[in-house]
Amino acid sequence: MENILRNFGQYIKVYLAKTSIDDPYEKNKTISYQNPLPIKAIVTDLSPAKIQWNLTGIITDKAKEIIIEKKYELLLLQSYKITIQGENDEYIGWKQNGKFQYRKEGNYIRFYMYIKKEN
């Protein structure tokens, strides 16, 4: 798996952010993004059928699955958005009940992310 990650992996940028509450009565928040941190990951597209099966309750046109090393787990859990090298889209992680949904597989993590579709 190390060789596959090294030879075929793409760089993703993980953005951390700091939120500040502007008005406590109206709950207005401002998000200020920090500098992105690059991580090498295996990135694959998810088909519409797999999106519907794996990401239940999510309505989106585009989703990706990434595989990264386990040492980046905490960084991924603190992320606000993720971008992939060579693409202009911004992805967010799949959450249920306020927690990111991912799987640990040995020394690697399988993580689903999608583009938030505005209604």
Three-state DSSP class for residue 46: coil
Predicted confidence band of residue 3 (pLDDT cuts 50, 70, 90): confident
Token readout for 98 is 């306020």
Q: Which residue has tokens 């798996």? A: 1
> In this predicted structure, what is the pLDDT of residue 119?
57
pLDDT digits (tens, 9 = 90+) for 22-72: 888 888 889 898 999 999 999 998 887 777 777 777 777 788 889 999 999
119 domain residue, yes or no = no
33 domain residue, yes or no = yes
**pLDDT over 70 for what percent of the chain?**
94
Number of structural domains in the chain: 1
CATH of the domain at 9: 2.40.10.270
Token readout for 84 is 């992939």
The more confidently predicted of residues 119 and 18 is 18
Percentages of the chain per state (helix, strand, coil), in multiples of 5: 20, 50, 35
What whole-number distance in Å separates Cα of residue 22 and Cα of residue 1? 46
pLDDT digits (tens, 9 = 90+) for 64-100: 889 999 999 999 888 888 899 888 888 888 777 667 7
The partner residues of 5 in beta bridges, in order of sequence, read: none
Contact call for residues 64 and 114 (beta carbons, < 8 A): yes
Range of the domain at 33: 2-114
